[in-house]
Amino acid sequence: MNDELESFIEAGKIAEKVLREIPHLVYDGQSLLDIAGTIEKIIIDNGAIPGFPVNLSVNQYAAHYTPSLDEKTVLNSEDVIKIDFGVSINGCVADQATTVDLSGKHELQVKAVRNALSSAVENIKPGAKVEEISKHIEDEIVKLGFKPISNLGGHMIKPYLLHAGIFVPNISNSNDPSSEYVFKEGDVFAIEPFATSGETGKVADTDKVEIFSLKQVRNVRLNASRKILAHILQKYSTLPFARRWLQQDFKSKVIVNAGLRELVRNDVLFKYPVLKDVDNQIITQAEVTSIVEKDGAKPIVPISLV
């Protein structure tokens, strides 16, 4: 096995430890900032780095919600929370997500994404087409009475490239050119079904942005921006990072906010706005990273933990 796949497997072992801790971390009354910080600390204490900021998207939020340093939100007993985290070893990211339904009222909707994930992973093998996998995802979600989110999906992963070109839509007849892709031995893919109880099955950007990544290096005017850019290159490379991480690194909110503003304006950074269900309904998610082997896809964490 090559070094790259070994790094993914090592990242998967640490991701498994995090998944086993989640039931002890995510409960009624617990703060989002504390949960994110604790998961990121577990990853670092195990010798890896977070592949991206921990996403804690509650209820109608689907993805890209990571707490800011002044986040005050605490979980309440009715919340449905998606915990999406990455473990990076040498830029090889284990990308995992699970849903915790604190009231137990959304059990069926959680089951819908878990069934979709299992069915997709069971059917991935060299020679299978992305479109067939999308169909399995859609069928399992629809079967239980929910809608797949059509503008979110899984993705190929390469070192330092979390979204490496090929997209795995959560619906079968999407017009995405990736649908024609044929899986090959040695590919690494994250599969991530999302289901909504809404009618439309789509998410839209909100104005809240806490996660960024490097797009291209360009000249910028502010001294703060130049320092932040040098820091990003050295510490995060092309992996996504949180505003709160920079604010901790630089010990200043105002400098970081000014720098980020200029870097986004000059097209140096990608921004990842928080994504929300267009009908404001509950969303569930399950995600696992797998390596495509000769006989099929092998998840790098036990899929029963997701």
Q: Which residues are catalytic?
A: 84, 95, 155, 163, 192, 287
The count of chain residues that interact with Mn ion, using the rule CB under 5 A, is: 6
For 145, the token pair is 């009475």
The Cα 1–Cα 196 span in angstroms is 39
Contacts 24+ apart (CB under 8 A), 21-30: 22/83, 22/98, 22/100, 23/100, 26/75, 26/81, 26/83, 26/100, 26/102, 27/75, 27/102, 28/75, 28/76, 28/77, 28/79, 28/102, 29/74, 29/75, 29/76, 30/74, 30/75
Could you give the strand order of the β-sheet that contains 203-214, starting from the edge strand earlier in sequence?
61-63, 269-277, 203-214, 241-242
| Residue 182 C-beta: closest distance to Mn ion, Å | 21
Q: How far is the CB of 39 from Mn ion (least distance, A)?
A: 13
As measured in angstroms, the least distance from the Cβ of 131 to Mn ion is 19
Structural tokens at position 196: 């909504």
CB-nearer residue toward Mn ion: 97 or 297: 97
The token duo for 202 is 């789509």
Strand partners, 161: 158
- Closer by beta carbon to Mn ion, 25 or else 222: 25
Provide the mask over 64-103, with x wherever binding to Mn ion is found by CB under 5 A and - wherever it is not: --------------------x----------x-x------
Task: Tell me how far CA of residue 272 lies from CA of 6, 42, 59, 206, 215, in angstroms.
Answer: 29, 24, 18, 10, 12
Going across the sheet that includes 153-156, the strands are 167-169, 153-156, 188-191, 288-293, 296-299
CB-wise, 167 or 225, nearer to Mn ion? 167
Q: How far is the CB of 55 from Mn ion (least distance, A)?
A: 7
From the list 11-19, 189-197, 215-223, 275-283, the region that binds Mn ion by CB under 5 A is 189-197
Q: At 69, which amino acid appears?
A: L
Q: Which of 42, 62, 112, 190 binds Mn ion (CB under 5 A)?
A: 190
Q: Nearer to Mn ion by C-beta: 22 or 74?
A: 22
Phi, psi of 168 (to 5 degrees): -115, 95
Distance from C-alpha of 255 to C-alpha of 261, rounded to nearest angstrom: 10
Binding segment (CB under 5 A) for Mn ion, from list 43-51, 64-72, 283-291, 298-306: 283-291
15 vs 190, beta carbon nearer Mn ion: 190
Q: Does 54 bind Mn ion (CB under 5 A)?
A: no
All residues at 6 or more sequence positions from 177 whose CB lies less than 8 Å from its CB, including other chains: none
Minimum Å distance from CB 250 to Mn ion?
Answer: 27
User: Which of the stretches 2-10, 103-111, 202-210, 282-290 binds Mn ion when contact is defined by CB under 5 A?
Assistant: 282-290
Q: How far is the CB of 10 from Mn ion (least distance, A)?
A: 18
Nearer to Mn ion, 39 or 224 (CB): 39
Q: What is the DSSP letter of 171?
A: S
In the DSSP assignment, the letter for residue 151 is: T
Name the residues that contact Mn ion, by CB under 5 A.
84, 95, 97, 190, 192, 287
